[in-house]
C-alpha cells in the first residue's frame, strides 16, 4: 500500500504561522546536546492512526527544468564557438581572447548553478517511517512572554537560515518552526533545570511556552568526526572548504555567524558533508555588515575566545561601529588548526586577540601543507585590512584541492584551459567524484569569472614567492 506524505511546512500556513504544528506531531528520541540557551533532541514525525507517514520534502529542492532541452555539452559547445555574441555582455577593456574566456565562464556559471539545483539528492532528505532523521531544537525561554509574536521576535536570530536564506549544502537545513508548551523531559532536571517553567519546578526560571526548530539531523560535531574518522589531508581540506563556502554564502546575504566553534560544525559521517549550525548569536546587518556600537550594552557575539581582534578591541562611541566583514573569516582561520588535529591557539592555547603578533602564529606543519599554512596565517592577520576576502580564500582553497602546484604557476591562457577542463569534468563526469567533491566544485564553478580566477591564482603565487 502506498503511504501518503505531507510536507512539514504544510503544518504552518500563511495565516496561522507557527500555530498549526506542535510537539505532538513529533516523537523525541535521545538528547543530542544542550547548552545555556537550548537543548537538541533527535526526532521523527509520528505515524498517525490512519497510516499517513509525514515526510519532509524541502520545496527548494524541487526544480522545474522542463524547458531545458539542450544538454550541458551542447550549450557549452555552442557558446564557445559562437564568438559573435561575445561583445554584447562583457567589458570593453578585455581583449578578444579574454572576451571569449569571460563568455564561456559565464555559461559555465549558469550550467553549474542549474546542474547544482537539478541534481540535488532529494531522496536523502526523505524520512522513512521509524527513522530518527530529524533534530528538534528546544530554545530556552527565560524572559519572553509566552505568545507566538513575542517569541518569534525575541528569537529571530535562530531563524535566520529559515527566513533569509534558501537551501545551501553547507548551512544547517531547517524545515520548520513552531511555538508550543515547554516539555518536561527526563533529562531536564539533570541538564537544564533552570529552563523548566516556574509553575512546574520551584527551582526553574523558564516560561510556559517556547520556540521549537525542526532541522535535519547530523551525526557528529567536527571534533568528534576528526577524532573518529582520522581523515586524510585531502578530506580535511574538503571539510575546511565547506566551512568557507558557508561563510561566503552568509556574507552575500549580509549575515555574520559570530559564534564559530567546532561544536557548531556538524558532519554527516557517511558522506563527509559539513554544515554550519546554531545561529543564536548571528547578526543580519545589511548592506555592509557594520553595526553601530554606541554603547557596551550592544552584544558583540558569542564565543569571546574566537572573536576577531577588531571586534574584541572595539570601544563604544557615537561614531564607533563593529565591522564584521572579516570577523568570521578570522575565526575560521583559528578553527583550521582543529581541522588538522592541532590545538586551537586562541581557544586551547595562550594566544589572545589583543596582544598576539602575526609572526608568532603556531605552525600547522607537517599535518597541513606549507601553502595551506600560509593561507591560514593570512586569514589570521591581526589587521583586517591585511586579510584577504572570504571569496579569495575560498577560491584559493578550492584551487589547492583541484589543481597541482605546476598548474597554479601557468600563464593566464594555460591556466584558463586547465580550469575549463576541470569545469567540464565536474559537469559531465559526476561518478568520479564524491557527493561532497561534486557539490564543492559546482559551487566553485558557478561563481567564477576570469577576474576572480586570476585573483586567486595571483594570491597563491604571491604566498609561495
Active site residues: 259
From residue 90, alpha-carbon distances to 84, 170, 413 in Å are: 12, 31, 18
Residue 171 main-chain phi, psi, to 5 deg: -115, 135
Identify which of 449, 395, 448 has the alpha carbon closest to the alpha carbon of residue 98: 449
Are 174 and 218 spatial neighbours (Cβ–Cβ below 8 Å)?
no
Quote the cell numbers at residue 446: 558557478
Residue 165, exposed/middle/buried by CB under 10 A (0-12, 13-18, 19+)? middle
Q: What radius of gyration do the chain's Cα atoms show? A: 24
Which positions ≥6 away from 402 have C-beta within 8 Å? 422, 441, 444
Are 130 and 44 spatial neighbours (Cβ–Cβ below 8 Å)?
yes
Are 172 and 277 spatial neighbours (Cβ–Cβ below 8 Å)?
yes
CB atoms within 10 A of CB 25: 18
Amino acid at each position: 500500500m502506498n503511504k501518503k506524505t505531507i510536507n512539514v511546512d504544510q503544518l504552518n500556513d500563511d495565516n496561522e504561522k507557527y500555530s498549526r504544528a506542535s510537539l505532538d506531531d513529533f516523537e523525541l528520541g535521545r538528547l543530542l546536546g544542550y547548552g545555556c540557551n537550548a537543548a537538541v533532541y533527535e526526532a521523527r514525525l509520528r505515524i498517525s492512526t490512519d497510516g499517513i507517514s509525514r515526510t519532509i520534502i524541502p520545496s527548494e529542492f524541487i526544480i522545474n527544468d522542463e524547458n531545458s532541452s539542450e544538454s550541458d555539452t551542447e550549450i557549452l559547445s555552442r557558446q564557445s564557438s559562437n564568438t559573435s555574441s561575445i561583445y554584447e555582455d562583457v567589458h570593453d577593456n578585455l581583449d578578444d581572447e579574454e572576451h571569449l574566456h569571460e563568455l564561456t565562464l559565464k555559461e559555465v556559471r549558469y550550467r553549474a548553478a542549474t546542474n547544482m539545483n537539478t541534481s540535488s539528492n532529494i531522496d536523502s532528505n526523505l524520512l522513512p517511517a521509524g527513522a530518527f532523521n530529524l533534530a528538534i531544537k528546544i530554545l530556552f525561554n527565560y524572559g519572553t512572554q509566552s505568545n507566538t509574536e513575542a517569541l518569534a521576535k525575541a528569537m529571530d536570530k535562530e531563524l535566520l537560515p529559515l527566513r533569509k536564506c534558501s537551501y545551501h549544502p553547507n548551512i544547517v537545513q531547517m524545515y520548520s518552526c513552531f511555538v508550543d508548551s515547554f516539555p518536561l523531559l527526563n533529562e531536564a532536571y539533570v541538564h537544564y533545570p533552570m529552563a523548566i517553567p516556574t509553575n512546574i519546578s520551584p527551582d526553574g526560571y523558564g516560561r510556559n511556552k517556547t520556540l521549537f526548530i525542526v532541522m535535519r539531523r547530523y551525526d557528529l560535531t567536527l571534533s568528534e568526526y576528526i577524532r573518529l574518522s582520522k581523515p586524510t589531508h585531502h578530506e580535511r581540506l574538503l571539510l575546511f572548504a565547506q566551512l568557507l563556502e558557508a561563510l561566503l554564502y552568509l556574507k552575500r546575504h549580509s549575515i555574520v555567524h559570530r559564534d564559530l566553534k567546532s561544536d557548531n560544525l556538524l558532519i554527516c559521517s557517511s558522506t563527509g558533508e559539513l554544515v554550519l549550525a546554531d545561529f543564536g548569536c548571528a547578526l543580519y546587518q545589511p548592506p555592509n555588515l557594520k553595526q553601530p556600537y554606541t554603547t557596551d550594552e550592544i552584544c558583540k557575539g558569542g564565543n569571546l575566545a574566537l572573536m576577531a581582534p577588531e571586534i574584541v578591541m572595539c570601544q563604544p562611541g557615537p561614531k564607533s561601529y563593529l565591522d564584521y566583514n572579516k570577523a568570521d573569516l578570522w575565526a575560521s582561520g583559528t578553527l583550521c588548526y582543529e581541522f588538522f588535529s592541532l590545538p586551537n591557539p586562541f581557544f586551547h592555547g595562550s594566544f589572545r586577540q589583543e596582544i598576539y603578533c602575526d609572526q608568532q602564529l603556531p605552525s600547522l606543519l607537517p599535518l597541513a601543507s606549507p601553502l595551506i599554512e600560509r593561507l591560514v596565517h593570512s586569514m589570521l592577520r591581526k589587521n583586517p585590512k591585511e586579510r584577504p576576502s572570504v571569496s579569495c580564500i575560498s577560491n584559493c582553497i578550492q584551487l589547492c584541492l583541484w589543481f597541482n602546484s605546476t598548474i597554479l604557476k601557468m600563464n593566464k591562457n594555460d591556466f584558463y584551459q586547465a580550469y575549463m577542463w576541470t569545469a567540464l569534468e565536474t559537469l559531465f563526469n559526476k561518478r568520479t567524484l564524491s557527493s561532497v567533491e561534486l557539490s564543492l566544485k559546482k559551487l566553485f564553478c558557478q561563481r567564477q569569472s576570469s577576474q576572480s580566477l586570476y585573483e586567486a591564482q595571483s594570491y597563491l603565487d604571491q604566498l609561495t614567492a
